[in-house]
Structure 1
Amino acid sequence: MVAPSRHPDAPQLPRRLIIGITGATGAIYGVRLLQLLREMPGIETHLLISDAGVLNLHQELDMRRKQVETLAHVVHNVRDVGAAIASGSFQSDGMIIAPCSMKTLASVANGLSDNLIARAADVVLKERRRLVLMVRETPFNLAHLRNMTSVTEMGGIIFPPLPGFYHRPQNISEMIDHTLGRVLDLFAFQHALTPRWAGLKADQS
């Protein structure tokens, strides 16, 4: 994905990415994503964590809000709907919600903007920027599927964090990095998180 075009005399801004962490299982995806982006030069992350997301961080990772917030460049209160990222004039490459709960999916699909996560996602969609929702639930009911269809029709990308096995991961960390590498590919961020698919190996026997 190409960064937003700017006037040639305008100051060069970093590539900005909005990261939302909500109350679905899979908090590790949001935390690991922040860690990876922190190591990449020229990228500025804007973090939002829902109340349920805070609970999951503690439940799944024994992490407190402040520990996760230190991984981001800018932190926004999820209730601050007057924040800079609530406006289309805020320039960004897009937004990733990792993980994305079914509640947040429904809010985005129906344009509710009931908190800053949903409002920021709504802005990204209306400005035709990239929105990726790493939805977590199983099995899906019809409401979930219809909401995913609605977001897709609006230009968003539904990306359930389903592990791949063709690269023969040796542990959970490799599985997580492979999934996040595919997400970063959607924003044309360079990384070396996983080997690229080179086709099926011929039988050597």
Structure 2
Amino acid sequence: MNLIDHKQILPPGLMDNSAEFFIHEHEVKALYKGRVWKFEEFPPELIEIIDNDMASNPKAMKALAEWDITDSGEQMRQYIACRFGGFDNNPDICLDGKVQPAEYVDCGRRGRCAYEGKLCSSIVLENGTLTKKEIEVLRQIGLGLLDKEICEVLGIAQDTLRSHKDSLCLKSGLQRKAALSVLAYQYKLI
């Protein structure tokens, strides 16, 4: 058989020693060394890397303590879920063992979590970080809603919406609503 090697983008951890964390069936898991690991099965070297990353992030550790999560295993589980819980094609731990910055994960608590921005990452664009309200506006744009509908859904005035859209355009460097819709898709807001 003559197989042609196609250039494919494979998920991190499938064919190498990088790692990708994700949430599946309400469990923290990792794709690492070619297999999916449940949190309880994580190999010691993976635990050590995350443990060191947690130790270097006092703001996140303070948030976990304020959240009243005292068990070290539960702290690590929540830390991973909040910082790396979305499956994507960017490794959370690179081949060299370096932990990447937290990624934006739309966990369902966004806008209501007291620890937002302390444990998790906000959306940081070319010219600034999006506010919670800007993220909500971006999500509605991504869903294809008309301005009037966005105002109704979010309970805001047209002028307020215009201000949020102007800010989104400024921070993203994008000028069209269609481009903002693509941005919403890229950040998995829709």
TM-score class, shorter: 0.3 to 0.5
- TM-score after normalising by structure 1: 0.31
- TM-score after normalising by structure 2: 0.32
Structure of higher RCO (CA pairs closer than 8 Å, 6+ residues apart): 1
Query: Which is strand-richer, 1 or 2?
Result: 1
Query: Which is helix-richer, 1 or 2?
Result: 2
